[in-house]
Structure 1
Amino acid sequence: MSAPETARSGPDRWAVRASRLFDGDAFHEAAAVVIEAGRVLAVVPEADVAAMPGTHLPEDALLAPGFVDLQVNGGGGVLLNDAPTPEGAVAIVTAHRAHGSTGLMLTLISDGPSVLDALVEAAADIAAVRGVAGFHVEGPFLAPERRGVHRLDVLRIPDEADFRRLARLAAVAPTILTLAPERVPAGTIRRFAESGVRVFIGHSQADAACVARAVEEGAIGATHLFNAMSQIGPREPGIVGAVLDDARLCAGIIADGLHVHEANLRLAYRVLGPRRLALVTDAMPSVGSEEGGFVLQGRAIALEGGRLTARDGTLAGAHLGMDEVVRNAVNMMGASLGDALAMASAVPARIVGLAGRGRLVKGARADLVALDADLRTIATWIDGEPAQPPRKIE
């Protein structure tokens, strides 16, 4: 199937027509999104825009809000840590846009202070890249015993310079910080939260009581639920149990069938539902790259059977795009199609306060994805502008 035929240039008001449309809350049959100045003007019956120029999607295509990914380490052969620049961001965004993502929280994994400084200095220019929604700083304030592939030698306790760095980043764009609450002094989470940083718990051995204290200080979520965190036990809920139990907490989850067992995916969906659970990729540079494996901070990472691992077998992020995560949410997690689409768009947008993203309502950004019958991306629009050229599905 070829990509949709697009007539975009010229008129200030135009429409994208689809036989089926999901607006972030509900499905519409034979509908259209009317776009003006990069914003959604309305969702209307297709017959109402018969004379309006725009885009005609193939008969079996589905139109939905563009995907918002809260955890993207890299793509297109680029790791954000190696290229915290606008050029690096363009490569990552381009790779993931081919999988329906129109808003990325670019993720910096644990590294030395100079790398975080470089990101902060370039933040305004990076945030201006079309498709960048904000930043996710994953570490280095993590528990050594739950570090996963993060380097042990860079893990540390935050200092005054870190509070200033993260505050500057959050002043530019929405910012998530993943930390281990048991590794930071009392009041640390509150200080970060008061500066506008959205604190997530992850790479942590915290018990439920520690999680509760973190929530009282302002923590709002958990990073890649089930992975790199304390688990449910008979007398200690751990982070997993605390997140499932506390309605104030949300979570990201990697639905690739490798990071989390399908039974746990189904459990998370049933308990957290499409209000508190966001689908994420935790994607690495291999996505959109012909190289396959890559080098992560001096360590060789191999790609085999869709699995990224270091030499010791430790999982090193994931090799997948958001459209694949949506398919897996339906097929592995048992989510309805509407819930899967919402967990990839409206839910993550709400979690990080991305006003105007994730839903197709009046005034929202015209960030759209068109999917074929197999839920594979055939086209995207950001601020009403199509990808050039639209991706084709043979």
Structure 2
Amino acid sequence: MQQLLTGARIFTGDRFLDNTALVIDDDTIFSLPENDNVVQDFPEASRINLNGGILAPGFIDLQVNGGGGAFFTNDPSVQALRTMLDGHRPTGTTSMLPTLISNTRPTHQAGVKAVRDAQDQGYKGILGVHIEGPFFDLDKRGAHNADYIRPLDQGDLDWLTDINDTRVMLTLAPEHTQAGQIRQLTEAGIIVCAGHTNAHYQQVTQAIKEGLSGFTHLFNAMRPQTGREPGVVGAALDSADTWCGIICDNHHVHPASVRVALNAKTPGKVYLVTDAMSTVGSDTKSFTIYGEEIFEKDGALVNAEGRLAGSAIGMIDAVRIAYRDMNVPLEESLRMASLYPAEYLKMDQTLGRIASNYRADLVHFNEQFNVTATWVAGSMQSHLPAEQ
């Protein structure tokens, strides 16, 4: 069955198109015809007038701890993944890497199994899994429980490198790995990122030589840059081919720091993440991890010590904040939320753009940055209030 979407300005991932419609055929984008005579050209299509606003590629979030009231590490199940997808979809997220924070190996193994099962059951929005920890530096652990922080051992390498049926992103502190371990991980297809790390510049550059390719929530929980010691931040900004995730919520990173990163980094290598917790898409504004209550305060999530513990935003919020508060052009803000994460996952031949033969993952939002509808593999969901 075909859908004919009209009435919106379309951002393709490369540029804006006016006077253009979008035709979806089943789960795939069929064409982008001009509006003239489009109804006559597709008489059998179900027509949807979007009444203005912007139609863009669906957002891809590579760091999602929870949503809709579910927290994946606490409940590594298919049901939790379904709840997270439902909780984030009204914020424009059409696909994600559900994220497991530092915990036991059996908990992480259960999470990977849940991701496999969800994908086997046809959950198109689950692209793989992000395992964040526990191979961290204690001083940079943030809200991760110190009891779980430990070095990477052979047992970890064995089970991680044996995962060959789903995408895996692994965040670790490179200074706490042994020579060759990062190479072993990346050669097995794992995307290795630096995070919660106190590494020196040279340690990071050596890890990059072994295949480390990304930096998790840039600026947060990592050795900062100084004039004499570039640190993790300096290594991230100095390396042309690596990727950086960044949390634009006006709490984790100052707007000026975002602009500095974008000016310093190779164009197209910085992408938006939410690092969202279970409160996103839920009426409950507190939750428990490691037996400790995390609560929302002034728009941020903090623990009893006042440490940031993830964010309270969805992807449309990150796009809006990047555009309005950090002066990132709207086109670039949208690419940071869709095209660039797709490129990092090497999925940019099917996701991250609006073009023929791409999967029909779409988000429509209005001038107030309210999401009005999303499509996942062509399946539409309205997010308008019931009275509308």
Q: How far apart are the structure 2 equivalents of 1:119 and 1:240?
A: 30
Alpha-carbon deviation of 1:58?
A: 3.4
Which one of the candidate residues 170, 174, 179 is aligned to 2:172? 179
Q: Paired residue for 2:320?
A: 327
Tell me the residue number matched to 1:74.
66
Q: State how many pairs are aligned.
A: 381
Residues 42-191 of structure 1 aligned to structure 2 (within 5 Å): 42-51=31-40, 52=42, 53-127=45-119, 128-169=122-163, 171-191=164-184
TM-score w.r.t. length of structure 2:
0.95
The aligned counterpart of 2:234 is: 241
Tell me the alpha carbon deviations over residues 307-332 of structure 1, each in whole angstroms, 9 at most, x when there is no partner: 11000001000000000000001012
> Which 5+ residue runs of structure 2 have no aligned equivalent?
none
| C-alpha deviation, 1:40, in angstroms | 1.2
Aligned to 1:384: 378
**For residues 315 and 29 of structure 1, do their structure 2 counterparts lie closer, same or farther at Cα, with a shift above 3 Å needed?**
same
Per-residue deviation, residues 28-62 of structure 1 (Å, max 9, x unmatched):
00212221131112222122522332343433311
Q: Aligned equivalents of 1:205 and 1:55: distance in 2?
A: 54
For 2:37 and 2:161, how far apart are their aligned partners in 1?
47
Contact 1:274 1:347 in 2 (8 A): no
Contact 1:98 1:391 in 2 (8 A): no
Equivalent residue of 1:278, what SS? strand
Which of 302-311 and 353-362 deviates more? 353-362
Tell me, in whole angstroms, the C-alpha distance in 1 between the residues paired with 2:59 and 2:214: 19
- Of the three residues 191, 194, 201, the one matched with 1:201 is 194
In structure 1, the partner of 2:217 is: 224
CA 1:23 to 1:48, structure 2 compared with 1: closer, same or farther past 3 Å? farther
C-alpha contact (below 8 Å) 2:174/2:203 kept by paired residues: yes
Q: Which AA in structure 1 matches 2:25?
A: E
Q: Which residue of 232, 237, 248 corresponds with 1:255?
A: 248
Q: CA deviation at 1:15?
A: 2.1
1:273 and 1:291 map into 2 onto residues whose CA distance is: 39
Q: Is the 8 A contact 1:294 1:301 kept in 2?
A: yes
How far apart, in 1, do the equivalents of 2:288 and 2:96 lie? 22
| 1:86 Cα offset (Å) | 1.0
1:379 counterpart letter in structure 2 = A
Instruction: Return the alpha-carbon distance in structure 1 between the equivalents of residues 369 and 49 of structure 2.
Output: 14
For the Cα contact (< 8 Å) 2:3–2:48, is it kept in 1?
no
1:356 aligns with 2:350: yes
TM superposition shift of 1:76: 0.8
Q: Deviations over 1:170-218 (max 9, x none)?
A: x222211000000011111101101110001110011111111111000
Distance 1:302 1:32, change over 3 A: same
Q: Distance in 2 between matches of 1:351 and 1:159?
A: 27
Aligned twin of 1:312: 305
SS of 2:240 mapped into structure 1? coil
Q: CA deviation at 1:114?
A: 1.3
Shift of residue 125 of structure 1? Answer: 1.1
Question: What letter corresponds to residue 147 of structure 1 in structure 2?
Answer: R
Q: CA RMSD in A?
A: 1.5
Inter-partner Cα distance in structure 1 for 2:136 and 2:33: 48
Amino acid at match of 1:384: G
Contact 2:171 2:194 in 1 (8 A): yes
Q: 1:7 is matched with which residue?
A: none
> What letter is aligned with 2:59?
F
Post-superposition CA distance 1:267-320 (Å, at most 9, x none) = 112222650000010000011111101101211111122111000001000000
Measured in 2, the distance between the counterparts of 1:40 and 1:318 equals 33
Mean Cα deviation higher: 100-109 or 114-123: 114-123
Q: Distance in 1 between matches of 2:109 and 2:268?
A: 34
* Pair 1:342–1:235, CA change in 2 (3 A): same
Provide Cα deviations, 1:225-251, integer angstroms capped at 9, x if missing partner.
Answer: 000001111101111111111101110
CA shift, 1:362, in A, is 1.7
Deviations 1:74-107 (A, max 9, x none): 0011110112111110000101001000011100
Residue type at the aligned position of 2:228 = R
Q: Specify the SS of the correspondent of 1:357.
A: coil
Amino acid at match of 2:313: L
1:142 and 1:57 mapped to 2: Cα distance? 50
- Partner residue in 2 for 1:369: 363
Amino acid at match of 1:77: G
Q: Partners of 2:162 and 2:33 in 1: how far apart?
A: 41
Q: Which amino acid aligns with 1:108?
A: L
Question: Cα distance 1:309–1:200, how it changes in 2: closer, same or farther (>3 A)?
Answer: same
- Letter of the 2:16 partner, please give it: F
Gaps of 5+ in 1: 1-11
**Which stretch shows the higher mean deviation, 49-58 or 110-119?**
49-58
Task: Return structure 1 stretches of 4+ with deviation > 6 angstroms.
Answer: none
| Aligned residue number for residue 334 of structure 2 | 341
* TM superposition shift of 1:168: 4.1
User: Equivalent residue for 1:22?
Assistant: 11
